[in-house]
Amino acid sequence: MTRPCILAIDLGTSGPKVALVGVDGVMLGSEFEPTALSLLPGGGAEQDPEEWWRAIVTASRRLIARALADKGDVVGVCCTSMWSSTVAVDRDGVAIGPAINWMDSRGAAHLGPVFGGGLRVEGYNIARLLRWIRLTGGAPTHSGKDSLAHILFLKHERPDVYARAHKFLEPKDYLNVRLTGEFAASFDSIALCWVTDNRDLARVAYDPALLDISGIDPEKLPALRRAVDVLGPVRPEVARELGIGEGALVVTGTPDLQSAALGSGATRDFEGHLYVGTSSWITCHVPFKKTSLLHNMGALPSAIPGRYFIACEQECAGKCLSYLRDTVFFPRDPLNPDGAAPEDTYARFDAMAESVPAGSDGLLFLPWLYGERTPVDDHSLRGGFFHQSLSTTRAHMIRAVLEGVALNARWLLGHVESFAGRKFGPLNFIGGGARSRVWCQIFADVLGHEIRQLKAPLAANVRGAGFLGAVGLGHMSFDDLHARVEIAETFTPDGGRGELYDLLFDEFLRHHRVNRRAHARLARVHGGALVDP
């Protein structure tokens, strides 16, 4: 018996997950293959696109070898990936040098001419700002972490790469070129170049004036398609490389924020979901276009045709926990030459966190290890532990990290609810962080919202890509998705902890308010010298 399915590919910062998702929405299985991230001086963050592809091929062939479905049953391929990342490719679709990762802020130095002079509001020329908001739903951030800034970094600091580039692509659009040979972006993936008119979601198009302002040569940007559109068949040689049969059709796909919304099952207007992976966000679909420049949020095109979603992101969430594991507890250094963390480290973290009372005895963790995007756009912010004492243990530090990330999410939630114009109900929780029952309860207590832990929460993005592929090929509708996800457990807030977490949240906000200028000053210290801000 045949079982038509989608080969879904989710390219994350730590590597790709490849899954087989039946066209009925049932996930048959998945494989993961890690890739490296290079953090460079001056705010650089790069990855190797060829390593991405090798990892995808390895994971795909391993998955197909499990015989969960016949290779001829793969009727479609759909990709999702990290967003706000940039790959320069030549006319053959071959990457020219490293990909610029979403954490990279080096382009900030080249945004001055884009923002313009004259009368300014929040650092933007007022006429340009009004045009961005009216057409795109937002504006380029000052952090330099948008795709626009990445391209400008290449233009000014790697002019050879810029000159050779045929197109600049988001990672999932780069993968689509590898799969089909077609150079295209979706209405949603192109949004962070800030050069498209998004007012009519049926006809998203490049705006000539915004292209002129951007400083990007228009011919270096790809054609635009809907996320549900079929790009074409997988090239025969690529199908053989992946281990699938020939004839599978590639659906254009969507970035990770949008695929997560699909995979979370929270697809109706104002249904919220919480994601905790390397980064974090709280978002929902909305029936309107709106912008909050002050808090770096906007309603941008969704993967669902004709719909917007609230775009927001906090830089470091699960990354704070892996930093604690790899840099503080189990680093490879002279004190720990082996450098190997136990395979069950996170389970041990949970047990240790449960041994510490709520509030971590006043130890406060600030999760801004790589700056912040929302609800403040400030790449100079840095984090750490506050109110540490001689009685602070490693267990305290673990729980404080879990609570600090949740407090940061509470900061975001208030602004997202204000943006949406209503309080959220239960939040569907997805991403690697949702595997921790301890963290689920902490989020419920800190946010004061019911938290619904999804089954297979780590697979939400790749599941969303599979859903999108099935919809694009006509096997499902978006109305079906709500019923295609399962809730593993529901966590309700512990009312006895409300006052405690209110106090911690007030101190969390106060720390940012009082010390944000100190962070900016300290950001000048680098390599034993003072650098220009």
Nearest-angstrom CA–CA distance, 403 and 382: 17
Helix (H) or strand (E) holding 467: helix 460-472
Token reading at 8: 């879904």
pLDDT, one tens digit per residue, over 406-442 is 999 999 999 999 999 999 999 999 999 999 999 999 9
Task: Average the pLDDT over 103-129 and give the result.
Answer: 94
Structure confidence at residue 529 as a pLDDT band (50, 70, 90) = confident
Quote the pLDDT of residue 7: 98
Nearest-angstrom CA–CA distance, 514 and 518: 8
CB atoms near residue 477 (< 10 Å): 9
pLDDT, one tens digit per residue, over 364-410 is 999 999 899 899 989 899 999 999 999 999 999 999 999 999 999 99
Which amino acid type is present at position 160? D
Residues 373 and 314: beta-carbon distance below 8 Å: yes
- The position carrying tokens 């096997």 is 475
What mean pLDDT, rounded, does the chain reach? 95
Quote the pLDDT of residue 379: 86
Cα separation values, 530 from 110, 125, 516, 522, 526, Å? 21, 30, 18, 9, 6
pLDDT at 243 over 70: yes
Quote the pLDDT of residue 338: 86
- The position carrying tokens 């029952």 is 437
Task: Average the pLDDT over 57-61 and give the result.
Answer: 98
Helix (H) or strand (E) holding 291: strand 291-292
pLDDT at 533 over 70: no
Quote the pLDDT of residue 1: 56
SS3 state of residue 249: strand
The pTM assigned to this predicted structure is: 0.88
pLDDT, one tens digit per residue, over 136-164 is 988 999 989 999 999 999 999 999 999 99
